[in-house]
Structure 1
Amino acid sequence: MTILVTGGAGYIGSHMVLELRDAGESVVVLDNLSTGFRWAVPDDVPLIVGDVGDMDLVCRIAKEWNVEAIIHFAGSIIVPESVSNPLKYYQNNTGNSRNLIEAAVRSGIDKFIFSSTAAVYGMPEENPVSETATLRPMSPYGTSKMMTEFMLADVARAHDFNYVALRYFNVAGADPDGRTGQSTPQATHLIKVACETALGMRPYMQVFGTDYPTPDGTCIRDFIHVKDLARAHMKALAHLRSGGASEIFNCGYSRGASVLEVVEAVKRASGANFDVRMTARRPGDPAAIVAASAKIREALGWQPEYDDLDVIVAQAFAWERHLVGLREAS
């Protein structure tokens, strides 16, 4: 039996492929390479280049590879872009997910793990925010993911089909063995931007808002190491394999770090005192959003191993330095 990983050539997906492969699982990747990289998929893992919304293709893959479960990462993730181009997000994240779910049902695949997001919560009324909090997404990105969660719940009620939706908080870091990391050009992730600035790839970085009701006035986010996140997916897969019911879990550490704390961590890791410029708030940024993570810890037995901002940042910086070396050598 094989696990189909959609978006397995991307940042989080490539870490998932390595986690599955390291555990001795059979894996096949479906990715259109719009933001992913062929090199991010190990040579011994089959890569099919195509769209997750292509139901006939997914059904063929399911039959050829005897697919047991789908772990679905493929989608668009840039919040400001979703505001300016909402139809792209409703197509890539909602429409394609709908087709993928139908292909799973048609193919008799009854285990599905979905890459959701803390953006479904919008601006939470209290922190840490639990899975039972009211969903108030503030962007088409968040809404597109919420709609897919709704579809999964409806399909699970109507068919022999169980799912786990994992609501990610701020994913960061890189593979501790240096095999993969965040490689997308012009990525907007805070830690990546800070690392690129430390390496001289950006002349400066901006901090959006210094007047939030937080200890240092900057936004607070719950940063989760990408390897801990991949292991949460492994726990979710074990849950579904054992006959577990459909569930939704937050993926975070239940504590946050401010933007300025992240900047200082990058300065420590890099030894560079780079230019940081303060500017106005961006519309729609919550002052703080931190995961309540008791549910996944108790239900799945998930225990993070990399819950340390300096470790996360050091590994992210090492990956950025590796990418610079690759560019200089090419």
Structure 2
Amino acid sequence: MHLLSPKSPGWLDWHPDPTVPSFRLPAGTVDTHCHVFGPQARFPFAPERKYTPCDGGKEQLFALRDHLGIRRNVVVQATCHGADNSAMVDAVRAAGDRARGVATVRPDVDAAELQALHSAGVRGVRFNFVRRLVNASPEDDLRAIAERIAPLGWHVVLYFESADLPALEGFFASLPTPLVVDHMGRPDVTQPVDGPEFSRFLRFVDANDVWVKVTCPERLSVTGPAALDGQRNAYTDVVPFGRRVVEEFGDRVLWGTDWPHPNLTDHMPDDGLLVDHIPHLAPTEEQQRRLLVDNPTRLYWPDEA
């Protein structure tokens, strides 16, 4: 029997009782950024992982989906599982047409494995450049992966920190696939929204037709989750950045929960409050529908768009 590993010290488990959101999600809403962790007894974590999480399997993910009023999920491979996509694929298959997947693959992935992933519902791969999560992201290997997935119509999901964009944007622009950026490129929200760092990110998005996830305010915020105005308006310092992206790139923005919220150290967010964050980023019904329904459907279920 597989010996279970204890959670990383100080690990914060996902919220056990999220509130019911005040904001009612439009029919067909897609959570385009969530994960599954294990369960470890069935889907062991990768030996090279940088953290050991709690279990957060498909049953808990689907229960949260239904609790929040979400229609569909895009399950993104978690780094704790490395390039073994079994847990992610199991969740996507179990959801039927209500889920798609984003995988992690190695440079030697062959056509048969890619086709099997495609048949299971995978539509992209993730390239991780966050140094605390991966040992290295060799560009030649990643370009080879991108060239192999391009004929399938897949995209590349990019996870990086804003300070590293100047060194990476040339490589990103050279990839032969559509690009999707996680968490707005993790901007420093203590800097001005019209300052040089975020302005450079916006120019990169504009020049390369990049899709952007306006996700994870709980990771970016300095002010935190306090809702002081009685309107469940949390993470207020992140709002100007998300709203700017929604206003400028309304046909290429996406939203997601990031459940089960890996590697948080300050607090575990209430997923109901994350839903109530949406109208602060996308105030109009048209913006909300594009963000939550139209855009993700076009990217992940193009036959329905």
- Normalising by structure 2, what TM-score? 0.36
- The structure having more radius of gyration, on CA atoms, is 1
- Larger strand proportion, structure 1 or 2? 1
By relative contact order (CA 8 Å, sep 6+), the higher-ranking structure is 2
